[in-house]
């Protein structure tokens, strides 16, 4: 009788351990992101820098009439156009941009501009998510010159791009 009890306990234990899963029962792990997954034309719908010293101080390029569009190839090289409105005159400056994206990890994206345009477009490694045709970028510790006085201020950055 005892051997039958031991076998039963062993079967139950094996059955329970076979049911456990790291994915929480949500199916197989998704394929890893590769740089080719970023290929396409992306339009920025949010480009927001927020002061970490005073969260009421923000710079949001798109709502000010600016724009940022990038075309990314399967190797991560990108070209595009950034437009920046002059807050004093309203004149819009268009600047061609180029550079490369590379994956630092599955959640970190490095942007290397061929030519930086401070304070708006500077080389950085940011947190990112890719969900279908939406890419979000976030950097909790960065800087931005909110008053354009040549002195960078501590900031947090968020952007949303749609393909």
Q: Is residue 152 part of a domain?
A: yes
Read out DSSP for 92-113?
Answer: EEEEEEEEEEEESSSSEEEEEE
Whether 11 maps to a domain, the answer reads no
Residue 127 maps to a domain: yes
Residue 80 sits in a domain of what CATH number? 2.40.128
Give me the tens of pLDDT residue by residue for the chain, a chain 163 residues long: 433 333 333 333 333 344 444 455 677 878 899 999 999 999 999 999 999 999 999 999 999 899 999 999 999 999 999 998 887 888 989 999 999 999 999 999 999 988 877 656 677 899 999 999 999 999 998 888 888 888 989 999 999 999 9
- Domains of the chain: total: 1
Domain that holds residue 71: 35-162
Residue 13 lies in a domain: no
- pTM > 0.75: yes or no: yes
**Sequence-ordered list of residues with C-beta below 8 angstroms from that of 121, at least 6 positions apart, any chain:** 82, 97, 113
Cα 47 from chain centre: 11
Domain-embedded: residue 147: yes
């Amino acid at each position: 009788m005892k051997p039958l009890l031991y076998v039963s306990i062993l079967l139950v234990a094996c059955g329970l351990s076979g049911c456990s899963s790291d994915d929480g029962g949500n199916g197989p792990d998704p394929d890893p992101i590769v740089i080719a997954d970023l290929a396409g034309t992306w339009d920025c719908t949010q480009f927001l820098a927020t002061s970490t010293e005073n969260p009421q101080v923000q710079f949001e390029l798109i709502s000010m009439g600016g724009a940022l569009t990038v075309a990314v190839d399967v190797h991560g090289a990108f070209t595009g156009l950034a437009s920046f409105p002059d807050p004093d005159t309203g004149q819009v400056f268009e600047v061609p941009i180029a550079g490369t994206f590379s994956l630092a990890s599955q959640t970190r994206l490095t942007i290397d501009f061929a030519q930086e345009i401070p304070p708006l477009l500077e080389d950085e490694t940011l947190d990112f998510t890719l969900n279908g045709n939406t890419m979000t970028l976030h950097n909790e510790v960065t800087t931005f010159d909110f008053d354009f006085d040549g002195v960078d201020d501590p900031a947090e950055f968020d952007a949303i791009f749609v393909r």
